[in-house]
Amino acid sequence: MKLQLDRASDVPLTEQIVTGVQTWIRSRAAHPGSRLPSIRQFAADYAISRFPVIEAYDRLVSLGYLDSRHGSGFYVSEHARAGLAGMGTCDLSNAADESGHLLSQLEREGELLQLDSGSIPQAWRDIDALGQAIRHVSRSDPASLVDYGTPTGDATLREHLRNRLAPLGIVAETPQILITEGASEGLDLLMRYMLKPGDTVFVEDPGYYNLYGLLKLHGVRLVGIRRTASGPDLDHLHAMLAEHRPRAFFVNTVFHNPTGSTISPPVAFRLLQLAREHRFTIVEDDIYADFQADPTDRLAALDQFEHVVYVGGLSKTLSSALRVGYVVANPAIVRDLAAIKALTSISGSRFSQAVAATLLERGAYRKYLERLRRRIAEAQGSATRTLEAHGWELFGSAAASTAAASAARGYAQTGGKFVWARVPHVEDSTRLAACGEPLGVAVSPGSHFRPQGESSPWIRINVALTLDPRAQAFFAAAARLGG
């Protein structure tokens, strides 16, 4: 076994060893049962420390490429050559568990008030402008109705997005932008590109349940990092970094789903420092960027794509049906992602992208956002007053006394379309979900928003729906559960 290790490379030695051994086994140069050099011998042969060798061998055992025999050493697994090792399996029962609440929400739409819905009410959308853009594209670009687009996406839309990123401090050229079928496809492409079965990734706790399901489908190991009112809990992050070496940390920057919180500048700076020190990539999910009227610091702006990949989209605001998302990264990563996209979906919807570009170009989207932001801010205030009047506790309320200091530092404490709330003395929010159904209200238990489905007293509430009489009745009835 002859491996090429480059100590000057940005790729950690552990990763180089793992990849090298996998390649050696797959090349049929190795036979099942072949013995590998001992850890001490390997380190001596390549003039490196034993630590990366230990970590690499442990990972190869976990992936099924090697067997560890106590007192004897490491051997090529009997199953490795059969192509089973390291490829992972798609546990579809687990996928069904992860997606079940989302499927239920979509399939039961209209039966109950989906109080934890991620959607904006149809009445708040600019249906007229959307219809005009659709008619314009249908007349001016009929080929978009029937032809493939390009894997990288509509050039005009990419240019508009580049200009929209500038006020956020994100400097990107058009080749750094890849259009995707919603942010979900962007996240999926990044997982295919960055991660292997058995890798460890950090996610926020609580966080986005679809993200958890996608990661588990890719066979990676999730470690939850507590989310506070100002971003990831840095003390908890430090502790977990002492135990794990994550490949990536998936972070929701602004108006976090489900808590509505925004990362503060001190947390953002320290998070980037840790990414550099521990050599992990931050996937910055900024899907709610357009809900924010006054831009705050983005990780991608502070880092300029050295350790950050940025994901955004228009589906949460413009139209869920159009499915327009995007990934922004260094050009080499975007080229690789475009190649993966070409293999997995060929291209996105040329028509949807042209409609989105038209709305941006004509200024309709800008005017719509101004109205939407006012409505969301009013709904946030109304929801907060209503819940507090019924005795509910809101996430981050303990830090409310620092709101003025937060504003002085230049970021909004909470916002967007969600509040994360609980009823005092009710420790499991499945009780809240059970309380809501007879009243015609559906909410998901907070366990759905935790990486391993741990119990939670919290629930996510869409502020746009809180004035509905059914929601008002639910808030009052649920409050009585707390005694």
Segment 85-119, tens digit of pLDDT: 434 444 444 554 555 555 555 555 567 899 999 88
Residue ranges, CATH 1.10.10.10, the chain: 13-82
Q: What was the pLDDT predicted at 98?
A: 55
Q: What was the pLDDT predicted at 421?
A: 96
For the ranges 7-16, 22-31, 106-115, 468-477, the one whose mean pLDDT is highest: 468-477
Average pLDDT over residues 234-247: 95
Position 404 pLDDT exceeds 80: no
Position 370 pLDDT exceeds 60: yes
Task: From 205, 278, 213, 214, select the one nearest 246 (Cα to Cα).
Answer: 278
Higher local confidence (pLDDT), 76 or 79: 76
Residue ranges, CATH 3.40.640.10, the chain: 125-363
Q: What was the pLDDT predicted at 89?
A: 42
Position 31 pLDDT exceeds 90: no
Contact 283, 190 (CB under 8 A): yes
Q: What pTM, to 2 d.p., does this model score?
A: 0.77
Position 223 pLDDT exceeds 90: yes
Position 409 pLDDT exceeds 90: no
Position 278 pLDDT exceeds 90: yes
SS3 per residue for the chain: CCCCCCCCCCCCHHHHHHHHHHHHHHCCCCCCCCECCCHHHHHHHHCCCHHHHHHHHHHHHHHCCEEEECCCEEEECCCHHHCCCCCCCCCHHHHHHHHHHHHHHHHCECCEEECCCCCCCHHHCCHHHHHHHHHHHHHHCHHHHCCCCCCCCCHHHHHHHHHHHHHHCCCCCHHHEEEECHHHHHHHHHHHHHCCCCCEEEEEECCCHHHHHHHHHCCCEEEEEEEECCEECHHHHHHHHHHCCCCEEEEECCCCCCCCECCCHHHHHHHHHHHHHHCCEEEEECCCHHHCCCCCCCHHHHHCCCCEEEEEECCCCCCCCCCCEEEECCHHHHHHHHHHHHHHCCCCCHHHHHHHHHHHHCCHHHHHHHHHHHHHHHHHHHHHHHHHHCCCEECCHHHHHHHHHHHHCCCCCECCCEEEEECCCCCCCHHHHHHHHHHCEECCCHHHHCCCCCCCCEEEEEHHHCCCHHHHHHHHHHHHHCC
Give me the CATH code for the 125-363 domain, please.
Answer: 3.40.640.10
> Residues 58-81, buried b or exposed e (16+ Cβ, 10 A)?
ebbeebbbbbeeeeebbbbbeebb
Position 401 pLDDT exceeds 50: no
Average pLDDT over residues 219-233: 95
Higher local confidence (pLDDT), 456 or 24: 456
What are 130-171's pLDDT values in tens digits? Answer: 999 999 999 999 998 999 889 999 999 999 999 999 999 999
What are 312-356's pLDDT values in tens digits? Answer: 999 999 988 889 999 999 999 999 999 999 988 888 899 999 999
Q: For the chain, give the mean pLDDT.
A: 88
Q: 239's torsion region: left (phi>0), alpha (psi -120 to 50) or beta?
A: alpha
CATH superfamily label, 94-122+366-481: Aspartate Aminotransferase, domain 1 (3.90.1150.10)
Contact 38, 80 (CB under 8 A): no
What are 32-64's pLDDT values in tens digits? Answer: 888 999 999 999 999 999 988 998 898 888 777
In which residue are the tokens 């404490």 written? 413
Give me the CATH code for the 13-82 domain, please.
Answer: 1.10.10.10
> Residues 114-123, buried b or exposed e (16+ Cβ, 10 A)?
bbbbbbbeee
Q: What was the pLDDT predicted at 415?
A: 86
Amino acid at 482: G
Instruction: Report the percentage of the chain scoring pLDDT > 90.
Output: 69
